[in-house]
Structure 1
């Protein structure tokens, strides 16, 4: 198809989009196409007035009384919404702390519980922080353990056969990202859980690039443990508190390595001796971050209202449309696709590669005054990630983005940008 045919197709798809109404619920700029919702989600309009109320009324006027009036249960309130999104029970989700700290807590708990085994298995596609935490645990607490990697031959996907070949009777913990951060490869969680459980291994999933983008059914898929962030597709705000999941059948057996106030069974008794909570709250650490927890509420409400299954269907349509445009307009210009070609095997972002990827990325973000700013993100060595958040991305957005990328390369606009990378690329 030529450009005009792609444009007409985009407009036709947008006209039939039953989720288009959600686009107006977010702060937007007509001069910006935002393709980085897989890194930081947009700001819901309702969050602005809600936070103003929290700051002025709950903090400003009610002061410490707000703890009893609302704040003490805020984490649980958000946990109930996240439970609906990830297919878990309310009392299997804890909201608080960071994704990294939650991963540390659950990795430690799993390794201590499965202490007769001394192998930790992950893959080459996992998020680097996850690997750092595992390396640190081995160095500081589990010196007899070793970290093994499932290889990816194409650096995009792995196969069940490769996992089966690596997992053994000595595997204590298998930990993977449900959707990999760079390539967007989507693991078949249910099948991987079954493979691991047959070998007696626990499985810990990082849902950060999956939650809110693909359907997740932790209970139905017999998941053991999971962590995830809320500031990507869930639109909870920069650095919003993360969440963790522990299957009900494992909660009594798992021990939080960080003994702290809000993991105590009766924190306001102010006892000098630690007594762990008997609920999922045992994985709490510090005082809840009320402003951040409050900022999450409206984004979660929108996600529950829209429904992840419907969003997934739109996401697949969006990414398939963009893939067809990439094949037509970008591949001839030296780009390659670094994500699975089949929509069933990928999340809601697409990675494309080019030898001048960073400069092209900069040219997209900082155009001449005649063009919209298109905001993706860059991942070394040469990946441009195009995040497609179906709550607020349209087909026309994707059409304009691909055409603009082609223009940047054809006109060599990227040459005015250096390869000196920003601290946050």
Structure 2
């Protein structure tokens, strides 16, 4: 790979997704001192169409339509779920629902899945999965009198399918895994792992939060059972945007949500005395959906669908290959080690580097106009979102990174993270 800036400019000139950059706030900035945002895997940029979409709901549908606008809003969670399924998740209609947070959706599906496997008393997750996933698994296990079986996972490579397979037996009810590891970007094989879990008679619940909008998912083709994910990373739905859940069609009548809200009731407006779950995926609805937030999510979903997930994934692989190559050339000689899979086929769309003073390096990068993020214990994570990040942005960010290492300005920053109180 040619590592010159001119080569990065050539990649930008040939980029079929280049026109999307100008549709995001701040992404089109120019100049040597511009902000280089490499944290799209944590919070995506705001699409320029989002304020108008939110304003339409607030100023027209709410302010003028008032309660009459519920005729439009009432089916938004399922309608937007179908659009997300078709355009991004590889899921047919009637299997995806938008609403609630990722954590709440994870809880709903995990409890429903565990209840659907009576006689099995073990939940499986990885020791290095995202904290909220492990916390939910532990809480559900405690409440149901089950046992958690945490499998070891390399924090740089992700879980080993062979290790997972060895941990499965007739006691396992549900396995919870992330498609893309939050720390390293390690990419799991959905179809292969799903087959292994099914061979053990268990269900698998995928967390797609660090994958959706950046890598192909193809839930239906993989035979996935259950999935959840957020919409504020690569889907660019904004902070706190509603999440989504997926339930494979043939499982829907078998599973029952543990939170019996009126938006999951079969005859919602009959206001009956007894809860009867709705048909299909809508039985996993709970309370009134976040209509304003879903307006922002819809903008992001449409942009991803328009760009095409295969094109986004291809660009993401090339961008992260550039990050890895520049890291080898510029950062490794100064003590920074790659902490992600080297093979692009085994990575999501972010790359992580390890250094004993990673926290200080992260603060120095931010001070120098590069926005990464820090992950324990000693990791700097770089997430170039393929929809709006340029190759020259990656090159310039890595150039600033090597300059910080060379001049050791990071040593002036406090070694301890400040706690937010």
TM-score scaled to structure 1, two decimals?
0.95
2-side partners of 1:133 and 1:160: how far apart?
22
2-side partners of 1:285 and 1:79: how far apart?
15
1:20 is aligned to: 18
1-side partners of 2:331 and 2:224: how far apart?
39
Residue 73, structure 1, aligned to residue 75, structure 2: yes
Query: Alpha-carbon deviation of 1:272?
Result: 2.1
2:273 is aligned to: 272
2:338 is aligned to: 337
Q: Secondary structure at the match of 1:204?
A: strand
2-side partners of 1:154 and 1:106: how far apart?
26
Listed one character per residue, the Cα deviations across residues 109-137 of structure 1 (whole Å, up to 9, x for unaligned) are 11111021111111122111011011111
2-side partners of 1:338 and 1:398: how far apart?
18
1:413 is aligned to: 409
Q: 2:396 aligns with which of 400, 408, 411?
A: 400
Q: Secondary structure at the match of 1:64?
A: helix
- Does the CA-based 8 Å contact 1:74-1:294 persist in structure 2? no
Query: Alpha-carbon deviation of 1:421?
Result: 2.1
2:244 is aligned to: 243
Q: 1:9 aligns with which of 4, 7, 30?
A: 7
2:314 is aligned to: 313
2-side partners of 1:97 and 1:103: how far apart?
10
- Does the CA-based 8 Å contact 2:317-2:349 persist in structure 1? yes
- Does the CA-based 8 Å contact 2:82-2:95 persist in structure 1? no
Q: Secondary structure at the match of 1:114?
A: coil
Long gaps (5+) in structure 1: 368-372
2-side partners of 1:154 and 1:358: how far apart?
17
Alpha carbons of structure 1 residues 357 and 168: separation in structure 2 relative to 1, 3 Å: same
1-side partners of 2:128 and 2:19: how far apart?
35
Q: 2:109 aligns with which of 88, 92, 106?
A: 106
Residue 37, structure 1, aligned to residue 35, structure 2: no
- Does the CA-based 8 Å contact 2:37-2:370 persist in structure 1? yes
1-side partners of 2:54 and 2:152: how far apart?
45
Q: Secondary structure at the match of 1:192?
A: helix
Residue 382, structure 1, aligned to residue 378, structure 2: yes
Query: Alpha-carbon deviation of 1:49?
Result: 1.6
Long gaps (5+) in structure 2: none
Query: Alpha-carbon deviation of 1:273?
Result: 1.6
1-side partners of 2:52 and 2:17: how far apart?
23
Q: Which moved more, 1:408-417 or 1:106-115?
A: 408-417
Correspondences of 1:138-217 after superposition (within 5 Å): 138-140=141-143, 142-143=144-145, 145-153=146-154, 155-217=156-218
1:370 is aligned to: none
2-side partners of 1:284 and 1:157: how far apart?
32
Query: What RMSD in Å do the two structures reach over aligned CA positions?
Result: 1.4
- Does the CA-based 8 Å contact 1:40-1:238 persist in structure 2? yes
2-side partners of 1:33 and 1:45: how far apart?
18
Query: Alpha-carbon deviation of 1:158?
Result: 2.6
TM-score scaled to structure 2, two decimals?
0.96
Alpha carbons of structure 1 residues 422 and 76: separation in structure 2 relative to 1, 3 Å: farther
1-side partners of 2:228 and 2:409: how far apart?
41
Q: Which moved more, 1:118-127 or 1:392-401?
A: 118-127
2-side partners of 1:233 and 1:395: how far apart?
17
1-side partners of 2:394 and 2:76: how far apart?
37
Residue 123, structure 1, aligned to residue 126, structure 2: yes
Q: Secondary structure at the match of 1:57?
A: helix
Query: Alpha-carbon deviation of 1:154?
Result: 5.8
Alpha carbons of structure 1 residues 241 and 378: separation in structure 2 relative to 1, 3 Å: same
2-side partners of 1:90 and 1:27: how far apart?
32
1-side partners of 2:236 and 2:155: how far apart?
32
Correspondences of 1:39-58 after superposition (within 5 Å): 39-58=42-61
